[in-house]
Structure 1
């Protein structure tokens, strides 16, 4: 089973959300379709702008917690290192 740490954004340099999942496509779909009440629904944070795989759930959760503690500038650098145009990566995943 695969695990992923991911970052969603409301827009370029907008509100960010860091999460972890074992099914990235399903989880991002849930965020985009406001399936679950919470932060991403309230603040319309739906664009997948960064993700990375993890070997196991413990590693994924540790990485998620690490990134959540980072200051905003570090998170922006992480996103822009692999996605400088802040493209929504979800469409590429479902193709």
Structure 2
């Protein structure tokens, strides 16, 4: 997701700005930075989703992994893809809103 990577590269959250994503909270959050493929990265992702377990059990959820990209969840693959698409849409909206 190229527009989400703008936020991942800067370790910035993606503010939720569409009706489809606002129910997920004010923003798609950012986990603590950690090296790729490390246990620290895995535990940071796990903590993010565990802290939001109640929400994650109802709808797809995602977060920013600084300098790496994004990770999403869902009750099925389609739900996870839907969450990723919505994250990408909000990333685009946040970037391009400065031009209107």
Report the TM-score, using the length of structure 2 for normalisation.
0.27
Question: Could you say which structure has the higher strand fraction?
Answer: 1
Answer 1 or 2: which has greater helix percent. Answer: 2
State the TM-score, normalized to the length of structure 1: 0.28
